[in-house]
Each structure stands twice: as structure tokens, then as C-alpha cells.
Amino acid sequence: IEYPFLSPNIYEFILAAEYAALYVIGLLFSVFQSPQDIADLYKSDPSIFYLLARGTSAIISTFTIFLTYKLGKTLHDWKTGILAAFFLAVIYIHALDAHFAVPDTLVVFLVVSCILSSVLYLKNTRPRYIILAGLAGGAAIGLKYLPGPILLGPLLALLFVARSKGRQIGFSHLVM
């Protein structure tokens, strides 16, 4: 089987790991005897695969709502966090994406993680936050190109912290 060019993304790898775990559990409980058995299950009744994928989207969406609360709380107070989390929870497209097995919920999770990490870096200046912001933003872009500008957040946070400490940072410092 030839894999489609430029198709794999983090979300598909997560699902592949879940399906592999399903296979191993099936082997342990003698439900499957060979890889062909799980392939036959998918052909005859793919509902367990859909349930796993949709459950993954729902779990990621739930974590995103929590991160949105944390972001609002970090930026202002707990009431802002509750309000932001509420709005994300009731947005139709977010609920719809959580319902279907699409990578969009993971993209939103990574974008919110990038923003939260950038804000935490501005508050604490711990390198782990800016590294996490860059990784989350890069992963979001890897899933979909649309959040490309999200990397401006960590870049601006890095420049702001450096400038507030009296350091001059030019383009050559960022590349090195």
C-alpha cells in the first residue's frame, strides 16, 4: 500500500498508535490472531475505529477548553478564564470538530498552547515556555498552514523579554 504524499500528520500518528494499542489489546484477549483480523474488523464494522477517533477529538477539545481557561486566568483573572472557556465550549464549529474525527481540534489545542506558553514566557522568562510555544506553533502549522502567523507570538515575546532586559537582538541572533 502506498501512503499518500504529504498526508501524515500528528493527528494521524495519534490515531495509528491508538489502533495499534487496540490490536495489541485484541491479541492479549485473543480477539485477534493476526493483523488481517483487525483489517477484517475495520471492513465489517468500523465503529470502534470511529469511536476511538471521535473520542480523541473530544478529549483534545476538552483539554483545549481547560487551556483557554488557564489563558484567560493568566491574562486577567479566573472570571475571564471561565468566560473564555465557556465561549470556546459553545462555539458551534469547535463542538462540530470535536464530534467528528478531524485534526482541527488538535490545531486549536496547539494554537492555544502556543499563545499560553508565550504569555507564560512573558511573565516568567523561563526558556521552557518559549521552547514549548515554538514547538506547539510549529506543530499547529504542520497540521494546517492556516495558523502560520501564530509563530509571531513567541517571536514577539522573545524580542520583548530580550529588550526589557536591555539586550539588543537582531535577525542574526534569532537565526543562530
Please state at what angle helix 10-28 crosses helix 127-143, rounded to 10 degrees: 90
SS3 76: coil
- Which pLDDT band, with edges at 50, 70 and 90, does 21 fall under? very high
Split at pLDDT 50, 70, 90, the class of 82 is very high
CA dihedral 28, 30, 36, 40 (to 10 degrees): -120
pTM of the model: 0.84
**Residue 6 pLDDT:** 57
Around Cβ 104, how many Cβ atoms within 10 Å? 20
pLDDT of 176 > 50? The answer is no
Cell triple for 13: 500518528
Evaluate if residue 81 carries a pLDDT over 60: yes
Cell of 60: 483534545
Residue 17 pLDDT grade (very low, low, confident, very high; cuts 50, 70, 90): very high
Between 102 and 51, the higher pLDDT residue:
51
Confidence of residue 32 (pLDDT cuts 50, 70, 90): very high
State the pLDDT confidence band at 171, using cuts at 50, 70 and 90.
Answer: low
- Which has more confidence, 67 or 164? 67
What DSSP state is assigned to residue 146?
A: T
Would you say residue 117 has pLDDT above 80?
A: yes
Query: Rounded CA gap, 116 and 33, in Å?
Result: 46
Q: Which residues contact 167 (CB under 8 A, 6 or more apart)?
A: none
Please report where in the chains the cell 485473543 appears, as a residue.
Answer: 30
Torsions phi, psi of 103, nearest 5? -75, 0
Q: How far is 82 from 4, CA to CA, in rounded Å?
A: 42
pLDDT band (50, 70, 90) for residue 143 = confident
The enclosing H or E element of 128 equals helix 127-143
